[in-house]
Amino acid sequence: MNTQQARLGVEGYLAGMRAALADLPPAEVAEIMEDVEAHVSEIAAELGEGETLEQRLGSPEAYAQELRTAAGYPARTEVIKKHKITGKLTKSRIAVWGFAAAVVFTVLAGTVSVRDPEPLILPAIVLALSFALIHEQGPELAKVRALPEVQKAKELLNQPVDTPAGKALAYLRSLQPAWWLLRTLLLVLAAVLMTRRDLLAFVLVVALAAAAFYGGPKSKSDRRWLWVTLPASALAAAVILGLIDIAADSVRLSSNSYPSYQVYQERYENIYPFDSNGKPLEGVLLFDQDGKAINAPDVGGQRCPNAEPVIPANKYPRPKIDWQNGQCVTIPPSISQPPPASSEPPTSSSAPPSSSSVAPPSPSK
């Protein structure tokens, strides 16, 4: 069969299927046919000389009936009930909007679920109540499908296959089996990480992972499974974001694992030097190992902005400058109790520096 004949055969076969499904709403027909067109084209390309699609797949009407049954729709001879939709808050509308809000909140709350699973309680309750409102409608969820907002969502998700959006959506749909497996692995990983904090959360998330893996293929024929698979997908996506956040925190902690000396240095306002016998010393200039002056915070200047600063600033002990009776008062340095004198004789390390030692730098003026 040449290319032109194959194309005409596929178009005629698909047209026959659409005619057999004409009693269904257009959005439902598009949903059933979205995967069929590519499949029929593949079968047509494999046909041998003189072989037809009917010989492989059966008549268009029979094939359409198989798909109709698999999707949970009534037979062609039955009449689908038309539900009058108004702007009122029906049970179906409450269920759909509650379902949508719970899925969105699951993405937001799920980003912290590995550290704290408690925020997931709220969307779980909303999803359970929403499912209770639509469960009685059966696998086809006819009343839900008839909602204008649901019809609009279906139109957005059923773009023509020859458009960029349609091609992108078709590609994403082809990745569904791989995503089902990845989603299960992500949820199991999240459950393992939750074990340290909440054993009940571990059990519930593992159960959700198992139910979502089982319900993935089922959701095409029984739309009620979407109340499990979509929240599971939202939680899995949130887990990815949460793991990225944890990794970023680890990087930040590792980069700060060796803080500078200034972070841990002890703050002081004055220094009282003593010799080895406990005798207080005056006019001592202090320098660090780099020859920089060791200057305590100028607390006196904070209390009395107009007071004369201590010069040089690394000279100890300092006088105390305080505010008394409406003016700045300079109080000579004193210590209530000197440290005990050392009973150990001076060691070689405490000997005075020789003349060859390097003198400290001159204090900065």
The pLDDT tens digits for 184-205 are: 999 998 888 877 777 888 888 8
Per-residue pLDDT, 101: 93
Give the range among 39-53, 170-184, 229-243, 259-273 with minimum mean pLDDT: 259-273
CA–CA gap between residue 71 and residue 204 (Å, rounded): 29
Q: Which helix (H) or strand (E) holds 360?
A: none
The answer on 197 and 64 residing in a single domain is no
Domain boundary among 255, 279, 306: 255
DSSP secondary structure of 232-283 = HHHHHHHHHHHHHHHHHHHHHHHHTSS--HHHHPPP-S----B-TTS-B--S
Report if residue 50 sits inside a domain: yes
Q: Compare 328 and 97 and report the one with higher pLDDT.
A: 97
Report if residue 362 sits inside a domain: no
Taking 50 as the threshold, does the pLDDT of residue 107 lie above it? yes
Per-residue pLDDT, 308: 64
Report if residue 79 sits inside a domain: no
The answer on 290 and 238 residing in a single domain is no
Give the CA-trace dihedral at 133, 136, 140, 145, to 10 degrees.
Answer: -30
The answer on 318 and 268 residing in a single domain is yes
Length of the chain: 365
Report if residue 278 sits inside a domain: yes
The answer on 236 and 112 residing in a single domain is yes
Report if residue 295 sits inside a domain: yes
The answer on 264 and 163 residing in a single domain is no
pTM, to two decimals: 0.49
Identify the domain containing residue 11 by its residue range. Answer: 3-70
Report if residue 361 sits inside a domain: no
- Would you state the structure tokens that stand for residue 183, as one six-digit string? 């989603």
The answer on 96 and 46 residing in a single domain is no
The answer on 166 and 18 residing in a single domain is no
Neighbouring C-beta atoms of residue 158, cutoff 10 Å: 17
The answer on 229 and 95 residing in a single domain is yes
Task: Provide the number of structural domains found in the chain.
Answer: 3
- Would you state the structure tokens that stand for residue 337, as one six-digit string? 């109790």
Q: Please, what is the average pLDDT of the chain? A: 76
Domain boundary among 237, 255, 273: 255
Q: How confident is the model at residue 307 (pLDDT cuts 50, 70, 90)?
A: low
Residue pair 76/63 in contact (Cβ under 8 Å)? The answer is no
Domain boundary among 199, 225, 255: 255
Report if residue 124 sits inside a domain: yes
Per-residue pLDDT, 233: 93
Per-residue pLDDT, 352: 47
Per-residue pLDDT, 185: 93
Q: 205: closest CA among 236, 230, 227, 181?
A: 236
Q: Dihedrals φ, ψ of 62, to 5°?
A: -70, -40
pLDDT-above-90 percentage for the chain: 13
CA–CA gap between residue 33 and residue 26 (Å, rounded): 10
Taking 90 as the threshold, does the pLDDT of residue 143 lie above it? no
Report if residue 356 sits inside a domain: no
What's the mean pLDDT in 24-44?
80
Backbone conformation region of residue 265, classed left if phi is above 0, alpha if psi is from -120 to 50, else beta: beta
The answer on 117 and 104 residing in a single domain is yes
Give the CA-trace dihedral at 348, 349, 351, 356, to 10 degrees.
Answer: 110
The answer on 326 and 218 residing in a single domain is no
Q: How confident is the model at residue 151 (pLDDT cuts 50, 70, 90)?
A: confident
Tell me the residue type at 249: D
Q: How confident is the model at residue 18 (pLDDT cuts 50, 70, 90)?
A: confident
Q: What share of the chain is helix, strand, coil (3-state, %, to 5)?
A: 55, 5, 40
The answer on 7 and 115 residing in a single domain is no
Per-residue pLDDT, 263: 45
The 3-class SS string of 214-225 reads HHHHHCCCCHHH
pLDDT in tens, 238-259: 888 888 888 887 777 666 655 4
- Would you state the structure tokens that stand for residue 221, as one six-digit string? 């024929």
The answer on 303 and 174 residing in a single domain is no
Residue pair 45/6 in contact (Cβ under 8 Å)? The answer is yes
Taking 90 as the threshold, does the pLDDT of residue 223 lie above it? no
Rank 76-80, 275-279, 297-301 by mean pLDDT and report only the highest. Answer: 275-279
